[in-house]
Amino acid sequence: MDNAELIVIVAALAMIAMVIWYFFGEREKVAAAVTDAGVQEVKITVKGGYSPDVIVVRRGVPVKLDFFRDETASCSDQVIFGDFGIARDLPPYKTTAIEFTPDKTGEFTFTCGMNMLRGKLVVT
């Protein structure tokens, strides 16, 4: 095996690792902090994805998710929590609060309007 072949193999492995990370990696997991008002609040930045993209909350306690959309890319102009019947427009460069009380435990995916950007709400 010469150097050129080795470089190709290493580059291919790196690309495969990136694809796996992109689709399956949990980039950032955050447990909601409870405010004085008894609300579980998390700030989420929307920019080519959701950050954090895994949010852990407790069942039966009101949740406030502050989505700050830091872009104009049309992909992220809506966020949908299908399991909770929530669909909300996110104006660019503004914070949109989504408030509800999770009444069931489990892992619930939230997405953009096209089902491309994904995050996960874990209710314990």
Structure tokens at 37: 């008002």
Q: What pairs with residue 123 in β-bridges?
A: 57, 106
In angstroms, the CA 54 to CA 31 distance is 8
The residue from 61, 75, 86, 122 that contacts Cu ion (CB under 5 A) is 75
Q: Which stretch binds Cu ion (CB under 5 A): 19-27, 32-40, 49-57, 74-82?
A: 74-82
The residue from 59, 114, 118, 124 that contacts Cu ion (CB under 5 A) is 114
In angstroms, the CA 81 to CA 86 distance is 5
Nearer to Cu ion, 34 or 51 (CB): 51
The residue from 57, 63, 112, 123 that contacts Cu ion (CB under 5 A) is 112
Cα angle, residue 115 at apex, residues 109 and 119 outer, rounded to 5°: 35
Find the binding residues for Cu ion in span 26-45 (CB under 5 A): none
Residues of this chain that interact with Cu ion (CB under 5 A) are: 75, 112, 114, 116
